């Protein structure tokens, strides 16, 4: 018998059709002089996202389907990947919080690496303030 190669399935950033942009969030962003509605990722929360020693929300760059950073933000992030850049985050409860966005390069056994965006500083408070649990789904717009 010949061996058949397995097809690798690419995970989509969203589950099915793109969800509607919540009206209250739209109004809040408009009040802050924002104007773009981009679903960056819809992500299931796993145990690692809730472990306090991880203290971050990771976003696999391969699962992000839209460009969401301005060119100057991308440049700043690449130049200061260890420090990161400050971003204003609106939580599911609609509270705003300053968080730091960084890029982490995670080594792989193949000597390559996988790159992640990570939101850090304040993630523990986001988890607790929104009562996030394993298998909850969060959207990053």
Q: Look up tokens 């390069």; give the residue.
A: 105
Question: For 122, left (φ over 0), alpha (ψ -120 to 50), or beta?
Answer: left
What does DSSP assign to residue 94?
Answer: S
CB 98 within 8 A of CB 132: no
Tens place of pLDDT for every residue, the chain, 141 residues? Answer: 433 433 333 444 445 566 777 788 888 888 888 877 778 888 899 898 888 777 888 888 888 878 888 899 888 888 876 788 998 888 888 899 999 999 888 887 876 878 889 898 888 899 999 999 999 998 888
Bridge partners of 101, per DSSP, are 85, 119
Bridge partners of 17, per DSSP, are none
Q: Tell me, what's the pLDDT at 2?
A: 39
Alpha-carbon distance 45 to 10, whole Å?
19
Q: Tell me, what's the pLDDT at 11?
A: 42
Q: Tell me, what's the pLDDT at 48?
A: 87
Alpha-carbon distance 86 to 77, whole Å?
10
Q: Tell me, what's the pLDDT at 18?
A: 64
Alpha-carbon distance 53 to 29, whole Å?
31
- Please give the structure tokens belonging to residue 6: 């397995």
Q: Tell me, what's the pLDDT at 134?
A: 94
Q: Tell me, what's the pLDDT at 101?
A: 92
Q: Of the CATH numbers 1.10.8, 2.40.330, 3.40.1000, 2.40.128, which one belongs to the domain with range 47-140? A: 2.40.330
Q: Tell me, what's the pLDDT at 17?
A: 61
**CA triple 89-95-99, angle to 5 deg:** 30
pTM for the whole thing?
0.75
């Amino acid at each position: 018998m010949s061996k058949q190669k397995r097809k690798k399935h690419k995970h989509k950033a969203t589950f099915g059709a793109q969800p509607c942009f919540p009206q209250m969030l739209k109004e809040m962003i408009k009040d802050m002089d924002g104007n773009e509605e981009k679903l960056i990722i819809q992500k299931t929360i796993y145990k690692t996202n809730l472990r306090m020693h991880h203290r971050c929300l990771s976003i696999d760059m391969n699962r992000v389907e839209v460009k969401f950073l301005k060119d100057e933000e991308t440049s700043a992030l690449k130049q200061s990947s260890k420090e990161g850049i400050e971003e204003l985050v609106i939580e599911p409860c609609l509270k705003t919080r300053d968080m730091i966005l960084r890029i982490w390069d995670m080594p792989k056994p193949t000597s390559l690496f996988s790159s992640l965006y990570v939101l850090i500083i304040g993630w523990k408070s986001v988890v607790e303030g929104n009562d996030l649990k394993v298998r909850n789904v969060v959207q990053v717009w």
